[in-house]
Amino acid sequence: MRSRILSAWPTWPTILLLISTSAVHASVWTATSYFQLSYSTSVYSFLTYYDAYTFTSTETIESGVTPTAQPISSSSVVISEELTILYVYLPAGSVPESDIVTGFSINTSVEPVTVYVEPIVYTAPASCPTPFTVATVTEVYIPPEVVNQVTPTAYSTSIDAGAGSFTQVTAYLSQGAVPINQTSVTNNFIYSLYIANCENPTATAAVYSSPTGSSGSSDGGGSDDNGSDGLEVCSLLTGCTTMHTWIIVVATILPGIFVLGFVESYFWFRQLMLGKSALRVGTICWMLLSLWLVCFTRHVPERSLEDQAALRIQWNAMSAGTRWKLWWRWGFRRAYPVDLLGPDPTPTLPAQMNSQMRQRQDNTTTGLDVPPTYDPADNSAEKSVPVGQTVERGE
């Protein structure tokens, strides 16, 4: 009989067990995960042949359990500048079976959001004419794997009652509990807005509260140069601009789009008079301001090439004043100007379509498929003979 010791298909904890590293990169936090070796034997026999295989795997030990057994091996992985995870591997039987993770569960409940803040003292830059210091708090990041390593001194709770409401818990740490790097200091709301500009925010009683939980004060003796109480509107295209600037931009753009809609309306009216495809009532500019206008906007298809040639002659014969009057009369209506341009080219019912086709064939036979030339001396555009209308000729 032979006995062999084999390893199951290695997972990444098993690979780390085989490759132990001694170099540990410095990080702010270090979390320890414990694993226990597990052995299983499989026997293979055929006739007089007998063989036994022993498989080695790892079992995860519950978080919060600190085994006392001597570890077999250890390794470390640097997750980020804030966190390094140390993996410790123990021999079989180091902890009871109750301390072994047997499965994973999904928590579907809404947990409170915890924000950690720490006291900090800002010092004015050396270039400031008057030195000063500001004591406030700043938000610090603590990885979820090491939250049990900190002990807050106080808590405060707030509830956001908006859409998708949640509860936020602010945990206050003692000063120096979490190292704060220089980048976090210079990016802080209070430092970048006031202290970097040699302004002491605590010189007045008007208190500010920053988005990151920091607090300070602003000058209450005048208007805020950053807009309405320092509010900013941010987007991917424009970046962050003050609310005052956005109000000016919106108050300028919206009326501009509305006026531009009249220019577009005249464009569609000219298309209609020339027998081309056009929109009636609404324009694209006005639809941008109100989507309800889409329900009232009508599309008119183009006329035949023969009709377009005749209608262009009629349009060119009109004076600018006549075009202007016709635009104000017909440019904002949904109805088609039948008295001016002839039958409506928009197909409605099959019977009406067949009737228009028969009428067009009859007019083509008599040579009256196009309207007569517009007379500039006649100021009444409605007296023009419509396209497709039969004219009585005297003998």
Which residues, in sequence order, are CB contacts of 250 under 8 Å at separation 6+? Answer: none
Type of residue at 124: A
SS3 content of the chain, % helix, strand, coil (to 5): 30, 25, 40
**Is the pLDDT reported for residue 394 higher than 80?**
no
pLDDT above 70 coverage of the chain, percent: 68
Least confident of 150-164, 323-337, 355-369: 355-369
Q: Are 280 and 332 in contact (CB under 8 A)?
A: no
Q: What average pLDDT does range 248-263 have in this prediction?
A: 90
CA distance 393 to 372: 14
- From the number of C-beta atoms within 10 Å of its C-beta (0-12, 13-18, 19+), residue 96 rates as exposed
Closest CA to 210 of 199, 200, 223, 201: 201
Q: What average pLDDT does range 244-273 have in this prediction?
A: 89
Residue extents of the structural domains in the chain: 2-99, 113-222, 250-383
Query: Which CA distances in Å does 43 have to 5, 185, 304, 381?
Result: 12, 63, 89, 104
Q: Are 168 and 113 in contact (CB under 8 A)?
A: yes
Query: Which CA distances in Å does 180 have to 26, 141, 183, 201, 299?
Result: 15, 10, 8, 21, 64
CA distance 56 to 7: 5
Tell me if residue 38 falls in helix, strand or coil: strand
| Token pair for 23 | 């170099």
In this prediction, residue 18 carries a pLDDT of 40
Angle 277-281-283 (CA atoms, 0-180°, nearest 5)? 70
CA distance 336 to 357: 18
CA distance 134 to 202: 7
**Is the pLDDT reported for residue 239 higher than 70?**
no
Q: What are the DSSP calls for 114-154, one per residue?
A: EEEEEEEEEE--TTSSS--EEEEEEEE---GGGGGG---SE
Q: Are 336 and 273 in contact (CB under 8 A)?
A: no
Least confident of 41-55, 134-148, 209-223: 209-223
Q: What average pLDDT does range 8-33 have in this prediction?
A: 54
* pTM of the model as a whole: 0.41
**Is the pLDDT reported for residue 374 higher than 80?**
no
In this prediction, residue 132 carries a pLDDT of 87
Q: What average pLDDT does range 24-38 have in this prediction?
A: 78
- Tens of pLDDT, residue by residue over 177-226, are 888 776 667 777 778 888 888 888 877 543 333 344 444 433 333 334 44
In this prediction, residue 361 carries a pLDDT of 63
Tell me if residue 259 falls in helix, strand or coil: helix
Tell me if residue 356 falls in helix, strand or coil: helix
Q: Are 306 and 359 in contact (CB under 8 A)?
A: no
Which residues, in sequence order, are CB contacts of 69 under 8 Å at separation 6+? Answer: 90, 91, 94, 95
Q: Are 327 and 269 in contact (CB under 8 A)?
A: yes
